[in-house]
Amino acid sequence: MNWFVEILKAIGLAALLFTFLAVVAAMFGVLLERKIGGWIQSRLGPKHVGPQGLFQTLADTVKLLQKEHITPYAADPAIFNTAPLIVATAGLMDWVVIPFGTIGTLVLVVRDLNIGVLFFSAMASMTVVGILAGGWASNNKYSMLGALRSASQMISYELPLATALIAVAMEAGTLSTVGIVRAQAGWLGSFVVRQFPAFVIFMIAATAEVNRVPFDLPEAESELVAGYFSEYTGMRFALFQLGEYAEMFAMAAMATTLFLGGWKGPVLPPLIWFLIKMYLVVFFLMWMRWTYPRFRLDQLLNLSWKLLLPAGLLWILITGYRLTN
């Protein structure tokens, strides 16, 4: 009956983690995004619901829950209704391998897979399926264009992302996320110092993977009316948003784990250190969003194929040379 307990444990952890993420990543993330956006653009941001606009996202969520589900007449209903689930699930699945911290000797991670980094990149690549399916099933040319842009962008940036992950895994000598955190010691021993080019490549590719400015062509409001999810209403739209924010937070958490030494740090408890570092990366991503204009599609693809990918391969070569000599 051991497997039965395992399944119950998995369901319990999934519910706990996903609820936490739905609340923290999506709701708090949206509020943070709007507040930081307001601060950078010298305006106030949400202000009226609750103290300092703190409950704005809660109100928005209630509003979204009440809205009608509209399936367009010409849409493919089965695929149309499944697509948001794929995006949300893929975004949340990333979190399985993220180590949040330690309590005593116990590492707070859902499952320390020995293929952790590979699992992360596999789950990140599943998002594009949901986006493509949603864009196609909407039967709308703007959604379709957004989905195709997203697919070409994600395929292009998966490769530089993978080269950065490979370089880190080579240096750490393991694919396990917990092992990678353990391989980093002290400020100078963290991979942001030892693997700085990989860190830069990872951050650029991660921003592109989660479709954020300056790489948000798939959902460019001004030309594609929000791209692949323009036909979605109510909670299905919210699921796309949830998936996107979960994925963005997961990328930030992964950057923390791979490069910033994960939960390690002096004085404060490990979990707090992890959250501080993760929110610093999240803040960095938001700062970029409100600062830079959007790329053109050809610039975007050129950056990936002609600059990031050769740089990543070269860095793998250098890392390999450094490790074997």
Q: Please calculate the CA angle 178-22-99 and round it to the nearest 5 degrees.
A: 5
Assess 129 for contact with another protein (CB under 8 A): yes
Q: Which one of residues 126, 193, 200, 288 is an interface residue with another protein (CB under 8 A)?
A: 126
Assess 235 for contact with another protein (CB under 8 A): no
Closer to another protein by CB, 95 or 273: give it.
Answer: 95
- Chain residues 1-20 in contact with another protein, contact rule CB under 8 A: 2-4, 6
**The one segment of 114-122, 197-205, 245-253, 281-289 that binds another protein by CB under 8 A:** 114-122
Tokens 């106030």: give the residue: 44
Phi first, then psi, for residue 231 (nearest 5°) are -90, -5
Closer to another protein by CB, 17 or 79: give it.
Answer: 79
Pairing label, strands 106-107, 102-103? antiparallel
**The one segment of 151-159, 190-198, 273-281, 307-315 that binds another protein by CB under 8 A:** 151-159
Closer to another protein by CB, 119 or 315: give it.
Answer: 119
In whole angstroms, how large is the CA radius of gyration of the chain? 20
Cα separation, 297 vs 208, in Å, equals 12
* Minimum separation from the CB atom of position 99 to another protein (A): 18
Residues in the chain: 325
Cα separation, 164 vs 291, in Å, equals 25
**Which helix H or strand E contains 172, and what residues bound it?**
helix 141-172
Assess 155 for contact with another protein (CB under 8 A): yes
Residue 214: cis peptide before it, omega within 30 degrees of 0: yes
Q: Which one of residues 17, 113, 271, 275 is an interface residue with another protein (CB under 8 A)?
A: 113
Beta carbons within 10 angstroms of residue 135's beta carbon = 28
* Minimum separation from the CB atom of position 5 to another protein (A): 10
Residues that bind another protein (CB under 8 A): 2-4, 6, 76, 78-79, 113-115, 118-119, 121-123, 125-126, 128-129, 132-133, 136, 139, 141, 144, 147-148, 151-152, 154-155, 158, 174-175
